[in-house]
Amino acid sequence: MCSFCLIIVVLMSVPLAASQHDMDSSVETVEYSASFFSRYQPNTALDMVRQVPGFELDDGGGARGMATSGGNLLINGRRPSAKQDLPSSVLARIPAGQVERIELIRGQAQGIDFQGQSVLANVYLRTDIPATVRWELWGQYNQSAPFKPGGNISMSDRRGEIDFNVGLDMERDTSGWKGTESEYDSNGVLLESGPHNSTEKGFRLNNISFNASSWMGDNLVRVNSRLTINDTHYFRPNGRVAQAPGGRTIDEIINLDTQNLEYELGADVERAFMDDLVGKLIVLYNNDNADSLTTQDVTDENEAAILFREADTKTHSQEQITRLEFDWSRFGNHAIQMNAERAYNVLDRELEQTDDRGLGAVVVNVPGANSRVKEVRYDFLLQDTWTAGAIDLDFGIGAETSTLSQTGDSELTRNFFFIKPFAVMSYSPMSDSQTRLRVAREVAQLDLEDFVSATVFDDDDFALGNPNIRPETTWITEVSHEQRLGRETVISVAAFHHWISDVLDLLPLSSDFEAPGNIGDGRRWGVELEATFPLSQLGLPGAKLDLYTLLQDSVVTDPVTGGNRRLSGQGGGAPYRTLEVLNNNMSWRYRIDFRQDFEDARIAWGLTYADRGNRPLFKVNELDVHSEGPAGTFFIETTRWFGVKMRLVWENLFNFKRNRVRTRYAGERDLSPVDSVIVRDRQHDIYRVGLHVSGTF
């Protein structure tokens, strides 16, 4: 972290340009014309949005309902009404030539529901261009896995009064990890060790999509559809060799075959009932079917069977959403909104597991694995945006009521009701400066997967569900300041403090098992910094640096020890994903993106460097800590030849690692002696190179 602090100090001393070319500013917005992005030679709207100074695209998603599904993106002043079709996917199908300008909305005066976001990107599209086809072909070589090809194609056109976009995106799914897993006793003596490798291969139809919009009289009608198919095979052959004389050698093979089919259908109708009253109706249906078959085959050094385990899991989930939105602008300095949403969600899971230890297959009863969870939720919001000179005040109150029921292995019905007030004050004395204060109560949307149980063959364990979970609620306070110095230099700092009720963490169920559950009240606090710096005055023409960093801490009462500790984090993933940091609960995270464009030569190159702190999981009899080393990516791209963009990407500059340390106790964690420590270190091979070729016609 010290080297990172030095980088920040150096950047703060960089002379800052103040040119306003290709950028218009007002108190609430910063506008970038299409010409601003020409030096980046973009092929898609996504290429352009990613180069907006001081902005990082949030793909939304995750939560049920439409509340945060659109992330921080607007298209022609409207949020995408699809949910599983992520904002980045929508932008990737839009040709760059169709973008007229991108507007960065920083204030509340336009009466837009920011949904907790501090800034929105509004992409305005032209309608006067002919039919355009955008395409991309790519392939990746990874020393640990088979060659990975992929491609996508989309067409944007207008037929009569209908604007539409249709797209196809598919790839061969391959990846591989190599590493070791070692077990030590409480004194650090090696007990056993062996390779811990894995490969994954299959086919992904990432999406077949169709989006269309048209004015029908006084109504703007939009329809969306998306289909995704995934067929993946995971293979993990490993062996463990005991270090003691005469110890047993064990070979283990885990196979996982997964087939997934998901589709989404959505539509919305917008109508102006009066000059100052606009209404919108949104309907959406999502259906997801997933089947997985997992086997675990364990043999000794003589290939004699020790254990053959099989788990057949079928999961069906669906979501139905109906949402009404009204915007009323009767008063000149007020914009009043009212939203009402009904969401129906269901998760249905069936699990059949058998264990064979040499005497024939025996059915294993996994408690809570065969269940149906259903939620019906209503969400209401009334808010007013009041503009008074340099101050915008966005305030309102929301309410949420839901009924959650579970049948099957667990039988339970519960009702919840929450009030959600909020207020956001923005002070913008000048177009290049804004200070923002936000206070809000948020209610987390439950993950229905937490209510049902599953098996974890990798750990020879169960991931138990908990039917008694209640939503986590958080009082949020945040103060931030954004300073813009010229068209490219942006510095934004935010400090936050969260008071969390019913913290959702790992709740002890017995001396051996835990499950997701509410463990009491907690707090989270920290500071975020985002910045964009041009480097031309340092002798690097056409170069810029994008910086993101987070420092945070948290505290909650440990249900096992009774003492204070930080919140549990989440494992997996990569340091590049920076907008999920609060949920991951790591102590620190940063990412640095460098890019240099040689506009006349039509060549660009760049580097990304990222790292983050560990994420501990505080289990009842185990401390499970996930971490990685630094990750880096290098790219070079050009549009010099054949009218296409060619991009060469080396994705694993620092031989990215994924580490896991499991400290297992003889009894309850920290209250009994350490029994053993299992250390797993895995990494991709350093040769992980991809070539992307894309263009339009």
Mind listing the pLDDT tens digit for each residue in 449-467?
999 999 998 888 889 999 9
Listed in sequence order, the residues at least 6 apart from 413 whose beta carbon sits closer than 8 Å to its beta carbon are 403, 404, 405, 406
SS (H, E, C) 36-68: HHHHHCCCEHHHHHCCCCCCCCCCCCCCCCCCC
537-551 residue pLDDT tens = 899 999 999 999 999
Q: How far is CA 179 from CA 47, 64, 392, 577, in A?
A: 35, 37, 54, 24
- Over residues 199-216, the mean pLDDT reads 93
80-126 residue pLDDT tens = 777 778 888 889 999 999 999 999 887 655 557 677 677 889 999 98
3-state secondary structure of 160: coil
Q: How far is CA 90 from CA 64, 74, 75, in A?
A: 19, 11, 10
Residue-level pLDDT at 390 = 87
Q: Is the pLDDT of residue 127 over 90?
A: no
Residue-level pLDDT at 106 = 77
Q: Is the pLDDT of residue 49 over 90?
A: yes
For 589, the token pair is 């995270």
Q: How far is CA 6 from CA 212, 438, 526, in A?
A: 50, 31, 20
Q: State the chain's mean pLDDT as an integer.
A: 88
Q: Is the pLDDT of residue 162 over 90?
A: yes
- Domain encompassing residue 270: 2-696
Q: Is the CB of residue 381 less than 8 Å from the CB of residue 360?
A: no
Q: Is the pLDDT of residue 27 over 70?
A: no
Burial of 293 (0-12, 13-18, 19+ CB in 10 A): middle
Q: Is the CB of residue 375 less than 8 Å from the CB of residue 381?
A: no
Residue-level pLDDT at 3 = 42
- Over residues 14-32, the mean pLDDT reads 56
Domain CATH number, residue 429? 2.40.170.20
Residue-level pLDDT at 108 = 57
Q: Which residue has the tokens 């998901």?
A: 262
Q: Is the pLDDT of residue 430 over 50?
A: yes
Residue-level pLDDT at 17 = 41
Structural domains in the chain (count):
1
Q: How many CB atoms are located within 10 Å of the residue 55 CB?
A: 22
**pTM confidence score:** 0.89
Please tell me the distance from the alpha carbon of residue 510 to that of residue 527, in angstroms, as a whole number: 37
Residue-level pLDDT at 110 = 55
Residue-level pLDDT at 653 = 86
Residue-level pLDDT at 389 = 84
Of 125-129, 152-156, 296-300, 468-472, the poorest mean pLDDT is in 125-129
- Over residues 574-587, the mean pLDDT reads 61
> Of residues 83 and 491, which shows the higher confidence score?
491
598-636 residue pLDDT tens = 999 999 999 999 999 999 999 999 999 999 888 899 999
Q: Which residues of 357-487 form beta strands (DSSP E)?
A: 361-364, 371-388, 391-408, 412-430, 433-443, 454-456, 461-463, 473-485
For 194, the token pair is 């062996």
Please tell me the distance from the alpha carbon of residue 283 to that of residue 344, in angstroms, as a whole number: 12
Q: Is the CB of residue 255 less than 8 Å from the CB of residue 294?
A: yes
- Over residues 553-579, the mean pLDDT reads 82
Residue-level pLDDT at 143 = 78
Burial of 492 (0-12, 13-18, 19+ CB in 10 A): buried
Residue-level pLDDT at 11 = 43
Q: Is the pLDDT of residue 6 over 70?
A: no
Q: How far is CA 98 from CA 50, 70, 212, in A?
A: 16, 21, 15
Q: Is the pLDDT of residue 680 over 70?
A: yes
Of 174-183, 233-242, 282-291, the poorest mean pLDDT is in 233-242
Residue-level pLDDT at 23 = 47
